[in-house]
């Protein structure tokens, strides 16, 4: 039995939406190489608040890269409100499941997208209910799955 | 698709000569070695010969070899046995931060349930344990020192003879987990002057499910697996006859072919490292820079800006088998305790890959591996948000 299902492997080996949008509407980064995964998302949003394009760059394992690819696929064509509703659970569902120990990798994509939208909201002066009280850096530092000591 | 196996430290294929030797012990000499009729006696003869073959590989006497189900069992047996045997003398065990989990997790168990105190010695940046550090850690309560001969991740060949001499000077028993060393470097237990040494067959082209403990004659060690009178009453359970015979044959082949095996492994490993350095930028060697002081087939490399499981998976897509020290591949998300102990920078620790070459590795295998590796690293670096411009 393979580590990942065919959908995950396909998104890992041939990821969609790789790269970086120049002068994006919003840019978000989440994670760090010390934690073992890090993702950057850039998005373009049109005047109707629809995400017209999304690109990612990810440092991470197979499921982190596959989640990044799937998540960016999912949000392209969505309104910002809809994209804010894309949870890691939905990403995992679309991927047809991840090994239990790898579920956290999909959180990376959810957070990076949220951070990109937060950046867009800041720049455009828009407000979204889902972003109320949201601090883009807080979770990054205190993520419970990233409790690896910096020194031993 | 071409298949290249570069994970000989995980396990080895069983050599054909070994398999051929084993088969009759499943079909003809299938008797219980404790039975006193034909097929039983034949099985018993197989055990006797294998015991001698394993003893010969490490310069021991045949009555100092006790077969176990694996190397891990041998490790468990020594640690728990000595802790119980010498409980009136003391409750302190010294080991290192880079041991295999077979040692570390057994020590943690003894700390929790047997009131044992454990000192985990630091190592230097190449993974070496210092005899001075060991001596400084010994107290009048110390009952056992357990230090691996070769580290499984970074290949460091520890100065076991010097370390064992320190323990002996203070009257403390010395054990070495030699699972990675067996068949890869010369081992003479009399010269090393160790009291216990753990071994496994499946790292030396023998079968899985069989290991052995060397116990110096005269050293007391309580039993670990209780039951019948097998293994000179020291380890109960009907013997894995075919496995033991396979271990014996593998040990004989390892002994007679040691010089050739070492020379070939070193040559392939050097070629792999030369090619990687030549074709791929931003790499870091982990473990001893002096290749004579590491496992002859081990190469441990960190690839900057990318993550190890991704590298492993993409190489697997190209038919190449390696292992990684990345936290994300560990199943537990714990970072490699070995790479942490030698201070591999946290920013690149997750980009670590272990290659181990062996007897069946060819130059063409290495050429193919480096060709695929170059593409994989390039692909993943293009995917990565991190570049050298960020300061690392």
Nearest to B181 by CA among B166, B168, B192: B192
Assess if residue B9 is contained within a domain: no
Using the predicted structure, report yes or no on whether residue A150 has a pLDDT greater than 80: no
DSSP β-ladder status, B196-200 and B211-215: antiparallel
- The verdict on B386 and B239 lying in the same domain is no
- The verdict on B82 and B45 lying in the same domain is yes
Alpha helices (H) along chain A: 6-13, 62-75, 80-84, 88-94, 103-124, 138-141
- B283 near A CB under 8 A: no
**Contact A15/A2 with Cβ under 8 angstroms?**
no
pLDDT at position A60 is: 93
- B307 near A CB under 8 A: yes
Assess if residue B2 is contained within a domain: no
- The verdict on B207 and B107 lying in the same domain is yes
- The verdict on B55 and B164 lying in the same domain is yes
- The verdict on B230 and B344 lying in the same domain is no
User: CA-based Rg of chain A, rounded to a whole angstrom?
Assistant: 15
Nearest to A76 by CA among A98, A47, A46: A46
Total structural domains within chain B: 2
Quick check: B328 and A58 CB within 8 A?
no
Assess if residue B4 is contained within a domain: no
pLDDT at position A145 is: 42
pLDDT at position B392 is: 45
Chain B residues with CB-CB distance to A61 below 8 A: 307-310, 313, 326, 328-329
Quick check: B383 and A62 CB within 8 A?
no
A6-124: CATH topology is Sufe protein. Chain: A (3.90.1010)
The pLDDT confidence band at residue A146, using thresholds 50, 70 and 90, is: very low
DSSP β-ladder status, B352-356 and B92-96: unpaired
- The verdict on B370 and B236 lying in the same domain is no
Quick check: A101 and B383 CB within 8 A?
no
Rounded CA-CA distance B105/B152 in Å is: 16
Quick check: B350 and A58 CB within 8 A?
no
Assess if residue B10 is contained within a domain: no
Rounded CA-CA distance B135/B27 in Å is: 52
| Residue B144 phi, psi dihedral angles, 5° rounding | -155, 140
CATH code, B356: 3.90.1150.10
DSSP code string of B156-188: BB--HHHHHHHHHHTT-EEEEE-TTTTTTS---
Minimum distance, in Å, between the CA of residue A41 and any CA atom of chain B: 9
- B74 near A CB under 8 A: no
Assess if residue B247 is contained within a domain: yes
Indicate which residues of A carry an active-site annotation.
Answer: 35, 105
Angstrom CA distances, B167 to A86, B117, B136, B150, stand at 60, 17, 11, 18
- B342 near A CB under 8 A: no
**Token pair for residue B382?**
């293009």
- The verdict on B243 and B266 lying in the same domain is no
Q: Is the dihedral of CA B264, B278, B150, B204 positive or negative?
A: negative
Minimum distance, in Å, between the CA of residue A15 and any CA atom of chain B: 9
**Neighbour order of strands in the sheet with A26-32:** A26-32, A37-45, A51-59
pLDDT at position A86 is: 95
Please report the ipTM that was assigned to this predicted complex: 0.88
- The verdict on B233 and B317 lying in the same domain is no
**What is the enclosing helix (H) or strand (E) of B346?**
none
pLDDT at position B311 is: 96
- A97 near B CB under 8 A: no
Nearest to B77 by CA among B103, B45, B96, B38: B103
Minimum distance, in Å, between the CA of residue A85 and any CA atom of chain B: 25
Interface with chain A: mutation pick from B302, B304, B307, B378, highest number of A CBs within 10 Å: B307
pLDDT at position A44 is: 98
- A50 near B CB under 8 A: no
Interface with chain B: mutation pick from A2, A34, A36, highest number of B CBs within 10 Å: A36
Mean pLDDT of A96-125: 92
pLDDT at position A147 is: 37
- The verdict on B345 and B202 lying in the same domain is no
Question: What is the b/e burial string over B173-191, where b = at least 16 CB atoms within 10 angstroms of the residue's CB?
Answer: bbbbbbbbbbbbbebebee
**pLDDT, tens digit (0-9, with 9 covering 90-100), for A69-106:** 999 999 999 999 999 999 999 999 999 999 988 888 88
Rounded CA-CA distance B108/B145 in Å is: 15
Instruction: List per-residue pLDDT tens for chain B, 392 residues long.
Output: 899 999 999 999 999 999 999 999 999 999 999 999 999 999 999 999 999 999 999 999 999 999 999 999 999 999 999 999 999 999 999 999 999 999 999 999 999 999 999 999 999 999 999 999 999 999 999 999 999 999 999 999 999 999 999 999 999 999 999 999 999 999 999 999 999 999 999 999 999 999 999 999 999 999 999 999 999 999 999 999 999 999 999 999 999 999 999 999 999 999 999 999 999 999 999 999 999 999 999 999 999 999 999 999 999 999 999 999 777 765 666 789 999 999 999 889 999 999 999 999 999 999 999 999 999 999 999 999 998 765 44
**Token pair for residue B185?**
């470097």
| Residue B145 phi, psi dihedral angles, 5° rounding | -115, 130
Q: How many CB atoms lie within 10 A of CB B70?
A: 21
- A38 near B CB under 8 A: yes
Residue finishing a domain among B205, B237, B256: B256
Residue finishing a domain among B231, B256, B281: B256
Nearest to A26 by CA among A55, A48, A59, A57: A55
Nearest to B384 by CA among B305, B303, B284: B305
Assess if residue B134 is contained within a domain: yes
Query: In Å, how far from its chain's centre is CA B117?
Result: 25
Return the C-alpha torsion angle A45, A51, A55, A56, nearest 10. Answer: 100
Minimum distance, in Å, between the CA of residue A146 and any CA atom of chain B: 8
**Contact B115/B88 with Cβ under 8 angstroms?**
no
Rounded CA-CA distance B167/B176 in Å is: 12
Using the predicted structure, report yes or no on whether residue A34 has a pLDDT greater than 70: yes
**What is the enclosing helix (H) or strand (E) of B191?**
helix B189-192
Assess if residue B36 is contained within a domain: yes
- The verdict on B28 and B174 lying in the same domain is yes
pLDDT at position B390 is: 55
- The verdict on B233 and B379 lying in the same domain is no
- Ranges assigned E (strand) in chain B: 4-5, 65-68, 92-96, 117-121, 142-146, 173-177, 196-200, 211-215, 283-286, 298-303, 320-321, 323-324, 352-356
**Token pair for residue A27?**
């840019």
Instruction: Indicate the residue of B313, B331, B382 with minimum beta-carbon distance to A12.
Output: B313
**Token pair for residue A32?**
């760090």
Assess if residue B371 is contained within a domain: yes
Residue finishing a domain among B201, B228, B256: B256
CATH code, B152: 3.40.640.10
Question: Can you name the residues that pair with B324 across neighbouring β-strands?
Answer: B353
- The verdict on B248 and B312 lying in the same domain is no
pLDDT at position A135 is: 84
Angstrom CA distances, B385 to B93, B175, B301, B311, stand at 45, 46, 21, 16
Secondary structure of residue B121 in the 3-state scheme: strand
Chain B residues with CB-CB distance to A27 below 8 A: none
In chain A, where the domains are located: 6-124
Mean pLDDT of A107-136: 93
Task: Give me the domain span that covers residue B281.
Answer: 258-390
Quick check: B313 and A3 CB within 8 A?
yes
Burial class (CB in 10 A: 0-12, 13-18, 19+), B296: buried
Quick check: A40 and B385 CB within 8 A?
yes
Question: Can you name the residues that pair with B354 across neighbouring β-strands?
Answer: B300, B323
**Contact B250/B18 with Cβ under 8 angstroms?**
yes
């Amino acid at each position: 039995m393979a580590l990942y299902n065919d959908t995950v492997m396909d998104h890992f080996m041939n990821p969609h939406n790789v790269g970086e949008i120049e002068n994006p509407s919003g840019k978000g980064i989440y994670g760090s190489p010390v934690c073992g995964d890090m993702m950057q998302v850039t998005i373009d949003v049109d005047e109707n608040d629809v995400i017209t394009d999304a690109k990612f760059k990810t440092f991470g394992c197979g499921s982190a890269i596959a989640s990044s690819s799937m998540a960016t696929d999912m949000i392209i064509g969505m309104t910002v409100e809809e994209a804010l509703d894309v949870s890691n659970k939905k990403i995992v569902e679309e991927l047809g499941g991840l090994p239990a120990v790898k579920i956290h990798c999909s959180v990376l994509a959810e957070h990076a997208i949220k951070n990109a939208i937060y950046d867009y909201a800041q720049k455009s002066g828009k407000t979204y209910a889902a972003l109320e009280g949201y601090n883009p850096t807080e979770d990054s530092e205190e993520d419970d799955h990233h409790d690896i000591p910096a020194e031993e | 698709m071409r298949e290249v196996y570069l994970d000989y430290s995980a396990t080895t294929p069983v050599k054909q000569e070994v398999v051929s030797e084993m088969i009759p012990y499943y079909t003809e000499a299938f008797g219980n070695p404790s039975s006193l009729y034909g097929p039983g006696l034949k099985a018993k003869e197989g055990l006797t010969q294998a015991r001698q073959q394993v003893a010969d590989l490490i310069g021991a006497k045949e009555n100092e070899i006790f077969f176990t189900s694996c190397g891990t069992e041998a490790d468990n047996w020594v640690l728990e046995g000595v802790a119980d045997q010498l409980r009136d003398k003391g409750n302190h065990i010294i080991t290192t931060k880079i041991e295999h989990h077979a040692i570390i997790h057994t020590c943690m168990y003894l700390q929790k349930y047997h009131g044992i105190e454990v000192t985990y010695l630091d190592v230097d940046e190449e993974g070496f344990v210092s005899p001075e550090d060991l001596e400084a850690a010994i107290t009048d309560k110390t009952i056992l020192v357990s230090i691996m001969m070769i580290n499984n991740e970074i290949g460091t060949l520890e100065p076991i003879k010097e370390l064992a001499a320190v323990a002996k000077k203070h009257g403390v028993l010395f054990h070495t987990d030699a699972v990675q060393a067996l068949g890869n470097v010369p081992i003479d237990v009399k010269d090393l002057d160790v009291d216990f040494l753990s071994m496994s067959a499946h790292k030396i082209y023998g079968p899985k499910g069989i290991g052995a403990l060397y116990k110096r004659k005269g050293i007391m060690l309580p039993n670990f697996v209780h039951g019948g009178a097998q293994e000179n009453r020291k380890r109960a359970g009907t013997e894995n006859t075919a496995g033991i015979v396979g271990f014996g044959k593998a040990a004989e082949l390892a002994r007679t072919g040691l010089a050739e095996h070492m020379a070939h492994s070193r040559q392939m490993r050097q070629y792999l490292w030369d090619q990687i350095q030549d074709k791929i930028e931003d790499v870091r060697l982990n473990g001893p820079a002096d290749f004579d002081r590491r496992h002859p087939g081990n190469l441990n490399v960190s690839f900057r800006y990318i993550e190890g499981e991704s590298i492993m998976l993409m190489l697997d897509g190209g038919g190449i088998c390696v292992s990684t020290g990345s936290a994300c591949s560990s199943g537990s998300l714990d970072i490699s305790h070995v790479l942490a102990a030698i201070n591999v920078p946290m920013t690149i620790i997750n980009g670590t890959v272990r290659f181990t070459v062996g007897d069946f590795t060819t130059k063409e295998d290495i050429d193919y591996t480096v060709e695929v590796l170059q593409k994989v690293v390039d692909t993943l670096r293009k995917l990565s948000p991190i570049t050298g411009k960020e300061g690392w």
